[in-house]
Structure 1
Amino acid sequence: MRLFGKKVSIIGLGITGFYTALFLKKNGADVYVSDIKGMDELKKEYVDKLKYLGCHIKACGYDEKTILDSDILVLSPGVSSDLDVVKKAKECGVEVIAEIELAYRFCPYPIVAITGTNGKSTVTSMIGHVFEQSGVKVFVGGNLGKPFISCLLEDQNWDLIVLEISSFQLENIKEFCPYVSIILNITPDHMDRYKDFRHYTDTKLKIFKNQKENSFLILNDDDPILSKIKTEKVKVLRFGKEEKQNRAAFLKNDSIEICFNGIKEDFSVKDIPLLGEHNIINTMPVLLVAFIFGIKKSILQKAVSSFKPLPHRLEPVFKKQGILFINDSKATNVDSAIKAIEGIDASVILIAGGKNKGLDFSCLAEKAKGKVKHAVFIGESAFYMLK
């Protein structure tokens, strides 16, 4: 793919749009960036740097004429494909792609990509930590921290790229093909963006659509959607709570047992420094990825046990008068809230709410019975949760 002399538009000037513009400019493209925010709302550092490099910036909306006259349109993750200008661009023959698609086309390194409704950041960070502790030069990013494309701007070679991938980022991929794909779970979320749950699910499943026979797909076999996936074009490794014939990882006698390429190893769950059974399950794909790349058990055990939990994810804050205060503010959908409640071995006072994403809270109400002592609802979703 040649970028030199190409006219490329970017919608969205957040961190992803910024690094995308830097990469495009470095490769000789004529870059146009637009954002619905006003100029004073955009990060001044981004605006000044891009203007200095000769990028064209349009605030307070989109320059439709420029976009429709572009060779390529790159969408930032927060930008919906349903925007009229995006639809028109596709109709006019403009190639519309995601930032991860652009980065992939120039990335010479193996990629481990993690998606799912919940648990992505923890699993992505833990995989990155395991490889760092093993002496591997690993870039960790995507929907977590730095955008994928930023690794191509750094003056070093990588051994491995580990990416958290959201459904938004998967909407406009064409060739994106990880060496290892991981899908942790699929439950309703972002129903304010997708027309229905099927649309959301299909978008998540795009992560492995381009994978080949020599690559791996790791699936949570306890998930009712993922357990039904059948494919022969990629090596499938399944994990789940109970031991089953087709599972490469499962719980057995307070240990995670791994069965891979004729090798059996067990890892004590006591070494996992995370709250909740769901986080024990989430450690399974981390171990499987390590086995795929041949990391020794002794190094792997030490790396997992030294992992520091991410902030805002079942994070113990302080304890007073026998009450433990836990920050789980990254639980932004029903399933993640349920997993948090299930993961606490005590009665719970629940403070929940926030943006209304069109979710059904009936399952949360059912799980809260007998476990949640008091509940306080806040934000625009409070009314719907109270019902």
Structure 2
Amino acid sequence: MKKAIVFGNGVSGKGAKKLLEHEGIEVILVDDKSGVTSEAALKLLDEVQLFIKSPGIPFDNFLVKSALEKNIDVIDEIELGYRYIKDNNLSTKIIAITGSNGKTTTTSKITELLQKAGLKAMHAGNIGNSLAELILENRDLEYAVLELSSFQLEGIKDFTADISLIVNLSPDHLDRYSAVEDYYDAKFNICKNQRDDKIFIYNLNDEETLKRLNDKVNCKTLGVTVNNRKDQANCYDKDGWLIYNGEKVLETSKLSLKGKHNLENTLFIVTVAKNLNIPNETIQQCLYNTKSLEHRMELFYKWGKTSFINDSKGTNLDSTTFAIEAYKNSILICGGKDKGLPLEGIVETIKNNIKSVYLIGKMADRMEEALLKGGYPKENIYNLKTLENVLKSLKEKLTVNDEEVILLSPSTSSFDQFKSFEHRGEVFKSLVEEIFVGGERL
């Protein structure tokens, strides 16, 4: 019997194990908490023909390197799911989305729109579902809409999307990559196997994308833009309308998702929809009425005149910049795992737009130092380490008559104190209701 190692027992690992066992392959689960240890697995490598690694495990991990040295086929769960589609001649089309910011919104809203158009579409990837399990349980799926992180794209071999897109690129994950260019190049693996009539959608405002376009894209390209290079764009905004190839598709003032960043996301969503021949009326019905995502600039609670915004999905510097620009003059709660990114840009944004800053997590001390160096007033910085400390401190200062906005937008990942950004957001919301008693849940 063929054997495979699944390295990591998270969402992708569980999905890979389920699919492999369904295919009659014996699975050795490697996980220091719930399976065989990494050290023990070294002795089993000669028995296996396939090695599925979790996206969170880098290729320079000793067990992964040992598997590669033995010429074992090392892939990610996304590649496994794709191979299952092809090996079983399934008709499922793949729409793949990546980017530094906006990919979750874009993925979920493309899925929602396709469903409203009567298509069987579901999302997976970095958005909480495993492609392997999704496709195993939904062999008649018409569209798999995949949010893909750079980690998931590092090991792409045969994976090919019918439509792929990169929403934008900005520095991130420098705790994983030795140079930011390596991060950007990993993102571009999303289109490396696309040819001919496959479609790649890109952002004409994104300089890092434009730098790589000629060298890394070998299929049909479609450009979108909010501001610049509209003469080169297929989809853009003009005079209150969103235009696709000269056709007015929807009125931008009627979009339920507000802000420039959401308009940019909408350009990608509409470009996908038009290439799938979805009627304008359906596009309008969806995008005029859709709701914002949980943990993404989510106004969830009011205590007197004070509003609480949960932007726990703000896991990088650009994402928090968008949130600050949307909620100027607010009180910012910021910090988490330190990715080692330069902080000068976010410090300038905070300095120009934020009343006071409450710092949490491992990044708190470095952020405090950067704020002070950038000229942000010391008396407006509160380095309190935990969400609970922050909210209790705010409760002592605020009254129900204070008209304030409390914005949780961490600017980094959550893994120093929480299981995920969702867990961080849920803890924040729970603590707000517990500490600011008598408010209104929205």
TM over 0.5: yes
Q: What is the aligned partner in structure 2 of residue 58 from structure 1?
A: 36
Distance 2:294 2:40 in 1: 36
Amino acid at match of 1:247: A
The letter for the 2-side match of 1:249 is: C
C-alpha separation in 2, matches of 1:217 and 1:361: 32
Q: Does 1:20 align with 2:16?
A: yes
1:225 Cα deviation after fit: 0.5
Counterpart pick for 1:355 among 315, 337, 340: 337
Using the alignment, how far apart are the partners of 2:202 and 2:293 within structure 1? 23
Establish whether residue 134 from structure 1 lines up as the match of residue 130 from structure 2: no
Higher mean Cα deviation, 347-356 or 302-311?
302-311
Partner of 2:57: 79
Change (3 A) 1:68 1:373: farther
Q: Secondary structure of 1:153's partner?
A: helix
Q: Which is further off, 171-180 or 228-237? A: 228-237
| Distance in structure 1 (CA, Å) of the matches to 2:48 and 2:279 | 49
Of 233, 236, 243, which residue of structure 1 is paired with 2:221?
A: 236
CA distance in 1 between counterparts of 2:139 and 2:273 reads 23
Distance 1:62 1:224, change over 3 A: farther
User: 1:197: Cα distance to partner?
Assistant: 0.4
Compared CA separation, residues 85 and 328, structure 1 to 2 (3 A): same
> Offset at 1:321?
4.1
The residue matched to 1:363 in structure 2 has which SS?
helix
SS at match of 2:64: helix
Contact 2:226 2:263 in 1 (8 A): no
Equivalent residue, structure 2, for 1:248:
234
Amino acid at match of 1:21: K
Q: Aligned with 1:330: secondary structure?
A: coil
Distance 1:177 1:155, change over 3 A: closer
Query: Structure 1 stretch 241-250 or stretch 309-318: which is displaced more?
Result: 241-250
Residues 103 and 156 (structure 1), Cα distance of their counterparts in 2 relative to 1, 3 Å cut: closer
2:82 partner SS: helix
1:73 Cα deviation (Å)? Answer: 0.5
Residues in 1 aligned to 2:145 and 2:60: alpha-carbon distance in whole angstroms: 29
Q: Which runs of 5+ in 1 are unaligned?
A: 40-56
1:106 aligns with 2:84: yes
Provide the residue aligned with 1:222 in structure 2: 205
Q: 2:21 is matched by which residue type in structure 1?
A: K
Q: Which amino acid aligns with 1:173?
A: I
User: Per-residue deviation at 1:151?
Assistant: 1.9
Distance (Å, rounded) in 1 between the aligned partners of 2:352 and 2:153: 39
* Post-superposition offset of 1:140: 1.0
Superposed CA deviations along residues 178-206 of structure 1, whole A, max 9, x for unmatched, are 00001011111111111110111111111
Q: For 1:155 and 1:372, how far apart are their aligned partners in 2?
A: 47
Quote the Cα distance in structure 1 between the aligned partners of 2:212 and 2:238: 25
1:105-184 aligned within 5 A = 105-107=83-85, 108=90, 109-184=92-167
Q: Counterpart in 2 of 1:43?
A: none
The alpha carbon displacement at 1:68 in A equals 4.5
Q: Which of residues 332, 336, 339 is equivalent to 2:319? A: 336
The letter of the residue matching 2:14 is: F
Q: Which residue of 2 aligns with 1:289?
A: 272
Cα distance per residue 1:98-149 (max 9 Å; x no partner): 1111111121311000001111111000000000001000121111121111
* Structure 2 residue runs without a partner (length 5+): 370-442
Q: Partner letter of residue 137 of structure 1?
A: K
SS at match of 1:63: helix
CA distance in 1, matches of 2:40, 2:279: 51
| Partner residue, 1:48 | none
Q: What is the RMSD computed on CA atoms of the aligned residues? A: 1.6
CA offset digits 1:311-367 (Å, max 9, x no partner)? 1101111234433321101101111111111223x4121110011111111100112
Residues in 2 aligned to 1:362 and 1:213: alpha-carbon distance in whole angstroms: 42
Kept in 1, the 8 Å contact 2:135–2:141? The answer is no
Counterparts of 1:250-269 in structure 2, within 5 Å, are 250-259=236-245, 264-269=247-252
Letter in 2 for 1:171: E
Q: Deviation at 1:275?
A: 3.5
Alignment: residue pair count:
361
Q: Secondary structure at the match of 1:295?
A: coil
In the other structure, the counterpart of 2:392 is none
1:368 aligns with 2:350: yes
Aligned equivalents of 1:307, 1:28: Cα separation in 2:
42
State the AA in 1 paired with 2:300: V
Tell me, in whole angstroms, the C-alpha distance in 2 between the residues paired with 1:192 and 1:137.
Answer: 38
Mapped to 1, the partners of 2:270 and 2:191 lie a distance apart of 20
Find the aligned partners of 1:301 and 1:276 in 2 and give their Cα distance: 17
